[in-house]
Structure 1
C-alpha cells in the first residue's frame, strides 16, 4: 500500500483509539446522572425532569462516539452463517466488498446528521419537553461520531484490501 494510505490508517486508528477510550467513561457520567436522579427523588422527594433526557443524550454520545473504536477492535455484532469457515484472505476480500455498502450508508447518515445539526443551530431547535434543552450540542456530537465512524470504515477498508492482496498493513 502507498505511504499515504498507511499514514491515513495509522492516524485514523490512533485518533479513534484515543477518542474511544475517553468515550468509555461517558458510561460513568450516565450512571452518575441516573443515581443523582434516583437519590433526589427517593430521599428528597424532588423529581429531576432533565435526567431522562440527559441520560438519553449521554447514551447516544456513548455509542456513536465509541462506535468507531468498536469497529476498530472488530467487536461489533456480526451474523456468522458461513464467515468463520472462510480462510483469512477470503474473509478480508468479503469484508473489503461488503464494507463499501456500509460506507455508503454512513455517508448518507453523515449527510443527514450535518443537515440536521445545521438546522438545529440556525433555528435554535429545542426539545419539546419541560426541560427544553437546545438540540444542536447533541446533534453535533452525534454527527462527529458518525464522521469518526466513516473515517474508521475507510481505514478498515484499506486494511482489508491490503490483507486480501497479501500485503497487510500493520
Structure 2
C-alpha cells in the first residue's frame, strides 16, 4: 500500500468512526425527543436546555456526518447520467467534481464562517435563553469540522480516483 493509499484509508477510518458515533447520537436524539414530548404533554414540564440539546444534536448529525455520507456516496448527484458512465468517466467526474466544486465550497464555508465562529468563541456565546445551553460557540465550531471532514474525505476521493485513472479497469470505490 502506497503512502497516499494509507492516507486515504486513514481518512476513511476517521469518517467511518465519526459516522458510527453520529448513528448513536441520532438514536440518543430520538430518545431525548421522546422524553421531551412525554414531559411536556404528559406532565406539563418543559426544559429549555433539553429542547436546545436536540437542536444541537440535530445540527451535529448533519454537519459531522457529511464526510461519512460522502465516503458512502450518499450525497445527491444525477445518478441517471452517472450510472450509464464507464469506470474511467465516473472517475473523471468524481475527480473534477471534487476539485472544482467540493473543495472550493468547503474552503468558502471556512472563509465566510471564520469571523462568525471566532467571535462566538471570543464571547463564549451561549443561549439567548436563561436556562438554555451555554455552548453555542461549540456548535458553531461544527461548521469548521463539517468543512474539514468534507475536505479530508474529498482528499481521499482524489487519491483513490487518481490511482484508478492510473490503473484502468480498477474501481476507485
Q: TM-score, normalised by structure 1?
A: 0.87
Match of residue 165 from structure 1: 166
The CA distance in 1 between the partners of 2:131 and 2:4, in whole Å, is: 46
Instruction: List aligned pairs for 1:1-170, cutoff 5 A.
Output: 3-100=2-99, 101-132=101-132, 133-166=134-167, 168=170
Q: Is residue 33–residue 54 contact of structure 2 (8 Å, CA) maintained in 1?
A: yes
Deviation at 1:125, TM superposition (A): 1.9
Match of 2:95, SS state, is: helix
Q: Is residue 19–residue 65 contact of structure 1 (8 Å, CA) maintained in 2?
A: yes
Q: Is residue 9–residue 158 contact of structure 1 (8 Å, CA) maintained in 2?
A: yes
The CA distance in 1 between the partners of 2:146 and 2:131, in whole Å, is: 25
Q: Is residue 127–residue 134 contact of structure 1 (8 Å, CA) maintained in 2?
A: yes
Deviation at 1:120, TM superposition (A): 0.8
The CA distance in 2 between the partners of 1:112 and 1:25, in whole Å, is: 31
The CA distance in 2 between the partners of 1:151 and 1:115, in whole Å, is: 22
The CA distance in 1 between the partners of 2:129 and 2:79, in whole Å, is: 42
Match of 2:127, SS state, is: coil
The CA distance in 1 between the partners of 2:167 and 2:129, in whole Å, is: 55
Deviation at 1:119, TM superposition (A): 1.3
Deviation at 1:130, TM superposition (A): 4.6
Q: Is residue 60–residue 142 contact of structure 1 (8 Å, CA) maintained in 2?
A: no
Unaligned runs of 5+ in 1: none
Deviation at 1:144, TM superposition (A): 1.9
The CA distance in 1 between the partners of 2:8 and 2:34, in whole Å, is: 40
The CA distance in 1 between the partners of 2:53 and 2:104, in whole Å, is: 31
Q: Is residue 110–residue 143 contact of structure 2 (8 Å, CA) maintained in 1?
A: no
Q: Is residue 90–residue 164 contact of structure 1 (8 Å, CA) maintained in 2?
A: no
The CA distance in 2 between the partners of 1:36 and 1:58, in whole Å, is: 15
Unaligned runs of 5+ in 2: none
